[in-house]
Amino acid sequence: EFGLTQSPDTLSLAPGESATLSCRATQNAGNTYVAWYHQRPGQAPRLLIYAASNRAAGIPDRLSGGGSGTDFTLTFSRVEPDDSGMYYCQQYGFPPYPFGQGTNLQI
Amino acid sequence: QVQLQESGPRLVKPSGTLSLTCHVSGDFISTNHWWAWVRQLPGKGLEWIGEIYHDGGTNYNPSLENRLRMSIDKSKTLFSLNLSSVTAADTAVYYCVRRSFYTWTRDYRFEFWGQGALVTVSS
């Protein structure tokens, strides 16, 4: 069964530091329909990155997505306090569009 | 700006049917997108439930499909979720989502989300 594993589970950083979140698929999906989301407590997920490396509307360029095959990343050139929260990756190329278990980013 | 809003009972009895409606504003249901439901179990990750197209075509999560029914009303710009035979394991925040289609990337990204509705299954 296709699945996604994110690492690390938790990441604690100071403002201004850089960060890389990882998302590994159990098999090569054959496409780059991978998205990243940010979720704050009590809020809906917000789309950050689609098709592995494209920023959604309004997302600053200090965030970038990359990867292919089975390994994908979300990178912050420098983190800010508002970046705190959960980050989820998702494969949305074919059902059931699984999500990773999430990384908790603490700034 | 596209906005989605979930409505429906927040408390459902075990073995009953969970029913939610998503009201869409700022867009037409007849556009070239899929309209989806995603849930988040308490303190846990996200799970895609299913989706419906403007012509009534559906895709359902295999783990739920024998209890699931979705419908769409283009004239009222809303779509609905019905999940039958619920148990406490179905207690979750339910989100409705527009999966937006963009021609140049030919992908259906989960772009616009409702604020979510916490539905509790309890007697």
User: Over the stretch A38-97, which tens digit does the pLDDT of each residue have?
Assistant: 999 999 999 999 999 999 999 999 999 999 999 999 999 999 999 999 999 999 998 999
- Model confidence at B49, in pLDDT bands (50, 70, 90)? very high
B84 contact partners, CB below 8 Å, separation of at least 6: B16, B17, B18, B67, B68, B69
- Model confidence at B44, in pLDDT bands (50, 70, 90)? confident
pLDDT score, position A20: 97
Look at B8-17, B72-81, B86-95 and tell me which has the smallest mean pLDDT. Answer: B72-81
Nearest residue in chain B measured CA to CA from A43: B115
> Which of B100, B102, B109 is most worth mutating to test chain A (most A CB atoms within 10 A of its CB)?
B109
A21 contact partners, CB below 8 Å, separation of at least 6: A6, A7, A8, A11, A36, A73, A74, A75, A87, A89, A103, A105
Look at A15-19, A45-49, A78-82, B39-43 and tell me which has the smallest mean pLDDT. Answer: B39-43
Tell me whether residue A47 is exposed, middle or buried, using C-beta atoms within 10 angstroms of its C-beta: 0 to 12, 13 to 18, 19 or more.
buried
Q: How far is the first Cα of chain A from the last one, in angstroms, to the nearest whole number?
A: 34
Nearest residue in chain A measured CA to CA from B98: A47
B45 pLDDT higher than 90: no
Structure tokens at B107: 């992908």
Q: Which of A58, A92, A46 is nearest to A72 (CA)?
A: A92
Cβ contact A92–B110 (<8 Å):
yes
pLDDT score, position A4: 95
Which pairs with CB-CB distance under 8 Å and at least 24 residues apart come from B62-70? Answer: B62/A96, B63/A96, B70/B37
pLDDT score, position A47: 98
Characterize A50-70 residue by residue with b for buried, 16 or more Cβ atoms within 10 angstroms of its Cβ, and e for exposed.
bbbebbbeebeeebbbebeee
Q: Which of A41, A9, A13, A21 is nearest to A107 (CA)?
A: A13
**Residue A2 DSSP SS3:** coil
Q: Please answer whether residues A104 and A11 qualify as being in contact, where contact means their C-beta atoms are separated by less than 8 angstroms.
A: yes
pLDDT score, position B88: 96
B104 pLDDT higher than 90: no
pLDDT score, position B17: 98
Q: In this complex, how many residue pairs, one in chain A and one in chain B, have their CB atoms less than 8 Å apart?
A: 55
pLDDT score, position B103: 86
